[in-house]
Amino acid sequence: MSVALGTTRPLPVRTTPVSDPGDLLAALPRTAPYAWVRHGEGLVGWGEAARVTVPPGPDRFAWARGWLATVLGDAHAAGPLNGPGPVAFGTFTFDEDSPGSTLVVPQTVLTRRDGRAWLTTVGEPQQLHAFDPPRPPGRIRYGDGSLTAPEWEHIVARAARRIRDGELEKVVLARDLLATAEYPVDVRLLLARLAHRYPECYTFSVAGLVGATPELLVRRTGKQIESLVLAGTTPRGTGAADDIARGAALFASEKDRHEHECAIASVRQTLAPLCAELHTPAEPELLVLPNVQHLASHVSGRLADGASVLDVVAAMHPTAAVGGTPTDTAIKVIRELEGMDRAGYAGPVGWIDAHGDGEWGIALRSGIVDGRRARLFAGGGIMGDSDPGSELAEAQAKFRVMQYALEG
């Protein structure tokens, strides 16, 4: 296995069954934690056995797969054969032309799955440091990101006009919000709060990108794949009756149903060439989260040729749910109107193992943490009849996920 400094000397990999660790996130040290956790199960990691910045461009996923084949393929495993083995955590920028896509093979990975747990170490065992409890970030101040709220409403109106003019069917526009804390932001505290408040979501941390996404881009287990498509959103109600009414209105909304069908059609078109079998539901269902409700559809299939999870990610990204329809036109409009680089927001984030299995989500409800500062992201699908004020309110509701993580 190659290490960060570029040597190709194979490194030893050891996987050992361990007793149930309980809260995975509580095991993380302060420095550069990696995480992918849902309902208390998943993976956490720390340290770096290998790390690479993936060159931008249309071939970045193929380049990443080649790097991973070299790195993970050289692993010299010891211990039980049925353990999870080494993995790479990854984050890819939304725009293929943007730099910053990163893959990391942690030195230590703790996995919890189906009531069992394993500890995987890569390279020579590292000295364990004393655990220091997370420190709250203190007072949080917010400021405008790339655009003010009125400026963002203006670009929503421009996008809706271009859709009505027939240039495209849908475009997803994002905005950012800057947060400055009194003390350095401890990613572990954000992860713990997100996992507790949003257990249905995938809580993640990779190379400074932190969040809790409800959207599973793809899970690969052998030849079986699964995906969860979300498109169409409404805020939660002020009470039970209002909540039910909002959900019913979302389900009946022509605008939101059309937006969801665009997303499903995009996934179906992308996955069909890769799959021997593909199943998509005739009707969406409601996914109810603490802050919003989504139209959701579970997609499943069986790969025809055993492509790795990263091959499926390459084929699917960007989906209509985070880009628009048609994709090429939507990306062009995003580049023209948003006035910012999304970095990893709405890009693929997740993990992959040496067998090509893994789980990748879309990095929604997320932020980039750097010392005392965090850049938060939110967005929504714009259709021809979208109201700028309503779209701003939807984005504000989505910001509240990371604001809760920062403020508690």
Q: For residues 253-279, b (16+ Cβ closer than 10 Å) or e, as one string?
A: eebbbbbbbbbbebbeebbeebbeebe
Pairing state between β 202-206 and 324-325: unpaired
For residues 267 and 315, give the distance between their C-alpha atoms in angstroms, rounded to a whole number: 9
Distance separating alpha carbons of residues 234 and 237, to the nearest angstrom: 9
**Residue with tokens 């996008």, as numbered in its chain:** 159
* 271 token code pair: 């996955």
The span from the CA of 315 to the CA of 335, in Å, is: 21
What DSSP element (H or E) covers 192? helix 187-197
Is residue 390 classed as helix, strand or coil in its secondary structure? helix
- The separation between CA 362 and the C-alpha centre of its own chain, rounded to angstroms, equals 3
- CA neighbor of 71 nearest in space, from 91, 57, 89, 51: 51
- Cite the active site residues: 170, 215
